[in-house]
Amino acid sequence: MMGLDIAFWVLAVVSVSTALAVVLMRDVFRAALFLVLCFFSVAGIYVTLSADFLAGAQVLIYVGAIAVLIIFVIMLTRESRQGSPSGRLRLPAILIGLFFLITMLFVVLNTDWHVVAEPPAESATTAIAQALFSEDGFVLAFEIAAALLLAAVIGAIALVRDK
């Protein structure tokens, strides 16, 4: 278990610092690159959680598609001077963020989680597949998700096409 712990800590530090970089950095493009790193580290965390399928999906979808799209749009909406300044609500946002964090910490640390220490025996992929596609699983949700994706695609195209 030592390896897992080390991996967790490293990945945790990386993800937090890259996330910080994303929100604090002035240059938008660099922020996007740090976002990519953040996603990668999150994928790593999935691995430490024995969620291998999720890790793969994370890299494919987030890094491969979402981050790329974001970089495209950054290129398209270049505001050379502005970059990414902070808004008026900096102070309230910091306060809210801290307050939320403290609340969450309070909840997490004071709840008696009934945990099972060993990692699950079964392979995650199989379990996910069964949960998604079996009769008493999430088939309906799966189908609706597909419809959602279709709607999103149509919507995106409808929004940006020239009339």
Minimum distance of another protein from residue 120's CB (angstroms): 5
Task: From 22, 23, 52, 58, select the one nearest 39 (Cα to Cα).
Answer: 58
**Beta carbon of residue 135, minimum distance to another protein (angstroms, whole number):** 15
* Least distance in angstroms from the C-beta of 162 to another protein: 10
Within 91-130, the residues that bind another protein by CB under 8 A are 92-94, 96-101, 103-109, 113-117, 119-120, 124, 127-128, 130
Beta-carbon contacts of 105 under 8 Å, excluding residues fewer than 6 positions away, are none
- Report in angstroms how near the CB of residue 14 gets to another protein at its nearest: 11
Q: Which H or E run contains 15?
A: helix 2-24
CA distance to 55, 101, 135, 141, per residue, from 14 (Å): 16, 19, 40, 34
Interface residue with another protein, options 134, 139, 141, 143 (CB under 8 A): 141
- Window 32-51: residues binding another protein (CB under 8 A): 32, 35, 38-39, 42, 45-46, 48-51
Rg (C-alpha) for the chain, rounded Å, is: 20
CB-based contact 74:28 (threshold 8 Å): yes
- Footprint on residues 44-83 left by another protein (CB under 8 A): 45-46, 48-51, 53-54, 57-58, 61-62, 65-66, 69-70, 72-74, 76-77, 79, 82-83
